[in-house]
Structure 1
């Protein structure tokens, strides 16, 4: 279905995965986790730039925040919540869910949720897995564990085929993979040429021409009549961040491509579409449903 002429535009969900440049999966194995505290943090200044851009555009968004960052930058977390944005969890230390295992995952999301809520004084009901590392085969227990730990929804599945992540056969719309689990709001894709093409942000947004990305999201809004999900990271608006020459060439390319144009593209995106918080756009605000409901 499409929206009638003159109708209110579909509101999309804007989201930010709050992590620093040295914590990304592209540098896993190159930058040891034990060395993280030795780097000068850039996440606070970059997130403040994003908060300022959202304020100018009148946009409220969802910030999926690492517990590791919140522990070290509590004032930033409080500013996010005070500005009216949704505070959500990105887990504690950017560990892949399929590596943590069920018990490790439970401890990770519980620790992150408690800290975020203690720091900001607001409920945390949303979760996004680092590097979309939730899937029906590798982590069939994840959505149930999230519900048991007090979450309402996840936005952790990317229905595409990719060498690092992806569940190409997953539904493209919000769904409940486990009757005892939380709702999953997947990353937005466009169906073309018999496959799902990404239309959600991140490196794809920096790589493809902006008009092509805009056309894809408009198709989702108008032809399919539903909201999309956009995501990006604070380090993506920071072209001056340090390079990592020891990383693989492909990893460096994925991390650095389009950094110089990202902020301008983001500002254009904020003008071209209507945006809101994940919990409000998809009706996921409020207390979690009882497990098994």
Structure 2
């Protein structure tokens, strides 16, 4: 099974690069991308998981309604994208449940940062997908973590997928910068070895990010964004379906794993 996850958040990443972006525009960029994703998934006939911040959901409840009504999973991405307190774990879950009417069982920390697993369990989550089990200078150094699912402190951990052996990350930046033939090769190898893929992206990637005066992003972030990124993800889905790979919601995958390992 391929688990597609989309982190729906206030688009505050330009602030990391010294740019100013009005909050309304942050919401607009994420909303436009989310609508593109929903249409793409509907056309492909597949379901996915949307990890949303409570802050985004509060301001865009109509988008949250679209996600849930389309049969996708809604999970938590924290309360705010750039501010975290331990109490936000429970608060974001309750707020998302209030807005959506859905049961929120999954969590992903903003920017895949470390989070206390005991607090995840106390907040009522079944699974956590906040680990990138690779090495990326300045952000991730997780070679000591398992590269596939495992249990820790009562919570199912579902790391982002990496290739076998060298652990090349199969995350959003790889889909921007590597030839799709290389992505397909590594994804196929990981799928055959692990029996699943856990891939994550952001709605704002479906916007043309080659606007340095506005966003300030380096080329490795803005490359193949907007329409080019939409085409890449569509082509990847078509390739995966041609291989007989299935797609599904992360909560359904988690339920199956937990049921088998009780």
Q: CA offset at residue 41 of structure 1? A: 1.9
For the residue of structure 2 that corresponds to 1:41, the secondary structure is helix
Q: Which residue of 1 aligns with 2:30?
A: 43
Q: CA offset at residue 63 of structure 1? A: 0.2
Q: Which residue of 1 aligns with 2:231?
A: 264
Q: Which residue of 2 aligns with 1:28?
A: 16
Distance 1:284 1:164, change over 3 A: farther
For 2:96 and 2:202, the matched residues in 1 are separated by 18
Work out which of the two has the higher radius of gyration on C-alpha atoms and give 1 or 2: 1
Runs of 4+ aligned residues of structure 1 deviating over 6 Å after TM superposition are none
Q: Deviations over 1:249-277 (max 9, x none)?
A: xx432331211421001111111222111
For 1:257 and 1:242, the matched residues in 2 are separated by 7
Q: CA offset at residue 39 of structure 1? A: 5.2
For the residue of structure 1 that corresponds to 2:205, the secondary structure is helix
Please, which moves more after superposition, 258-267 or 124-133?
A: 258-267
Structure 1 stretches lacking a partner, 5+ long: 1-10, 287-292
Q: CA offset at residue 217 of structure 1? A: 1.1
2:73 aligned with 1:86:
yes
Q: Which residue of 1 aligns with 2:134?
A: 160
For 2:257 and 2:196, the matched residues in 1 are separated by 16
For 2:252 and 2:167, the matched residues in 1 are separated by 26
Q: CA offset at residue 18 of structure 1? A: 0.6
2:107 aligned with 1:127:
yes
Distance 1:91 1:85, change over 3 A: same
For the residue of structure 1 that corresponds to 2:168, the secondary structure is strand
Q: CA offset at residue 182 of structure 1? A: 1.3
For 2:44 and 2:239, the matched residues in 1 are separated by 11
Distance 1:79 1:246, change over 3 A: closer
Instruction: Choose which of 182, 185, 191 in structure 1 pairs with 2:158.
Output: 185
Instruction: Choose which of 35, 43, 46 in structure 2 pairs with 1:59.
Output: 46
Give TM-score, length-normalised by structure 2.
Answer: 0.87
Q: CA offset at residue 82 of structure 1? A: 0.6
Count residues in correspondence. Answer: 252
Q: Which residue of 1 aligns with 2:220?
A: 254
Q: CA offset at residue 285 of structure 1? A: 9.3
Distance 1:269 1:242, change over 3 A: closer
For the residue of structure 1 that corresponds to 2:232, the secondary structure is helix
Give TM-score, length-normalised by structure 1.
Answer: 0.78
Q: Deviations over 1:171-226 (max 9, x none)?
A: 01111232xx411100101134xx31112x3111111000111111111122x141
For the residue of structure 2 that corresponds to 1:176, the secondary structure is strand
Structure 2 stretches lacking a partner, 5+ long: 241-245
For 2:36 and 2:79, the matched residues in 1 are separated by 23
2:93 aligned with 1:113:
yes
Q: Deviations over 1:133-183 (max 9, x none)?
A: 01xxxx4xx1110110111100000011112422122101111232xx411
- 8 Å CA contact 1:279, 1:285 repeated in 2: no
The within-5 A match list for 1:92-107 is: 92-95=79-82, 100=84, 104-105=85-86, 107=87
The within-5 A match list for 1:271-286 is: 271-273=238-240, 274-283=246-255
- 8 Å CA contact 1:158, 1:165 repeated in 2: no
